[in-house]
Structure 1
């Protein structure tokens, strides 16, 4: 559970970070006296924290297994151990972001680094370091580089921060606990932030286990339980719906129960077990037979589980939410066209 209502802003610094390969500049700034902005203090906090709405937890890592080789882990660790280093380490973070902004499509922008107190996350009260990047020029705050330093001008609007990360002073030994803004799609612009700049991986908890298993169900339909193996669309969609219903109505996952209630047929169970094994070995993913189900992960998965049969590039769509046995597919030789027959008891 995330509760940001008690969060307080203690320190705020703003750096301007351009794109290195485009030869845009890096401007390191002084700490901002945010008390001057008391009139929009709450709006500022909302601007920073609003994008952090996921229950997924991340941590710093390094491919070698040595956390000391992850630059951002070291910068954050020094701030938590000695808050007086906030300015120096924020500059190191800005330099590191600048040095990892090496793709021409990465946009420059304003990098806000803040020290935040009194987060309530997973029942613990902890401090955090927020790292936020604004790339759009019509942002919530307009930055004016006046002669006496950076000034913020409040602009009322609904603009969202583009990149967001909160490093919590928790689980230091394993890479801290980190919250990220969700990225709508995988791209160069989003990938560099988490993979090159932060270098984080998702913590193996209920959210990850639930997400992995639901993705496994989608992959099974895409690769095995499909038309190539004589499984028509209505049956595929019904399987996905049963999977969602299983996860959506339980607190705990049990693989034997899932196989019997969702997969049902022995041949389908055997195919799914083989597919699960192949995916686990290919991508080095540990698939657990039992785990606590994350309701947040299920809610997000519903967006990706399609229950529509799209015909002729979506000109005609049939929504399937059960009773797939009432839908039959056929072929009309005279018209040389496929067709579906739908049976029902009554019309709403």
Structure 2
């Protein structure tokens, strides 16, 4: 018997779909609301392209909840939460009405001059697997960028083929995406965003101004916070200003990543004793941790299950390379004590001396 995946959208089915057009309010672009849903023939080539376009960008990662708006007292003051709740309660009666309300809210949030207008797709999805549960979902997808393409038509009477230039949405890239899962309603539903590496104004307005989300405090959240803490500690405290050379900094980052890679369960005392090791460094780490929590207003738990997905996503942020001038890179994956930094007064240049037993 095959194991049920924790996160799986491969069998999700599209049951309702509508497209609205939402412009930039500040630029006085219009909002155009549809009156009817779109019907797609199940599992037709168009249906498959649309579903791939909608869902391809969603990978296991951070989850969110709808948040209580600032200066408000209840989650129900979040109009997006209210609209989603209404759709889930009665999809066939509420879907069209609430999709229009969601479009109006997006228009109200589209005020920064860099926000592009575009097509706004609202979809009802069934059979989504999230944390091992089979749930329904509301999908919100926005297409902002258009691409030019050539269309070759039918052969004409004079023996040549027609050629047209058209503009349309590329199915290769989804600009903005959100999945609202029908679970944990009392906490604000489980919400997932399309994975985006940027923290640009365009990306943040979708998450913060429009949807008004807060992180879901799960193992991914706790693991990511601790990895960010480790990275911040090296960058701000365990650095050259405090007489810590680059090889030692990278070694601490490598050992931190290895700890999270190898462990199923995180324990802060275990981490401090086996990764940071030296008492003075542990004391500095503990002081930095207090400041880190206060500045970011986040909790740092002393024990939790390690999220391997959070570890995987953070690896690219943990740099293990010393870059020298423009074309010299030294990659450090361990044994930082075998690297010695110095300065040659005759050549007026810095140098690294590397000790090793044998060359492979």
TM-score (norm 2): 0.90
Conserved? CA contact 2:147–2:169, under 8 Å: no
Of 59, 82, 86, the match for 1:74: 82
Question: Which residue does the alignment assign to 1:148?
Answer: none
Give RMSD over aligned pairs: 2.0
Mapped to 2, the partners of 1:260 and 1:36 lie a distance apart of: 57
Secondary structure at the residue paired with 1:112? strand
1:279 is displaced (CA, Å) by 1.2
Deviations 1:114-170 (A, max 9, x none): 000111111111100000011111299x9xxxxxxxxxx998976211100000110
Deviations 1:70-117 (A, max 9, x none): 110011011111211100100000111011000010011111000001
Question: Which residue does the alignment assign to 2:217?
Answer: 204
- Listed as ranges, the gaps of 5+ residues in structure 1 are 143-152
1:27 is displaced (CA, Å) by 0.8
Question: Which residue does the alignment assign to 1:147?
Answer: none
Of 112, 127, 131, the match for 1:118: 127
- Listed as ranges, the gaps of 5+ residues in structure 2 are 1-5, 152-165
1:95 equivalenced with 2:95 (yes/no): no
Conserved? CA contact 2:50–2:171, under 8 Å: no
Q: Evaluate the alpha carbon distance shift between residue 329 and residue 65 of structure 1 in structure 2; reply closer, same or farther with a 3 A threshold.
A: farther
Mapped to 2, the partners of 1:48 and 1:210 lie a distance apart of: 28
Conserved? CA contact 1:132–1:165, under 8 Å: yes
Mapped to 2, the partners of 1:325 and 1:26 lie a distance apart of: 62
1:334 is displaced (CA, Å) by 1.2
Question: Which residue does the alignment assign to 1:61?
Answer: 67
Mapped to 1, the partners of 2:315 and 2:330 lie a distance apart of: 17
Mapped to 2, the partners of 1:31 and 1:41 lie a distance apart of: 14
1:35 equivalenced with 2:38 (yes/no): no
Question: Which residue does the alignment assign to 2:156?
Answer: none
Mapped to 1, the partners of 2:43 and 2:113 lie a distance apart of: 34
Conserved? CA contact 2:146–2:167, under 8 Å: no
Deviations 1:194-235 (A, max 9, x none): 000101011000000000000000000111000000000000
Of 304, 324, 327, the match for 1:291: 304
1:16 equivalenced with 2:21 (yes/no): yes
Mapped to 2, the partners of 1:139 and 1:207 lie a distance apart of: 39
TM-score (norm 1): 0.93
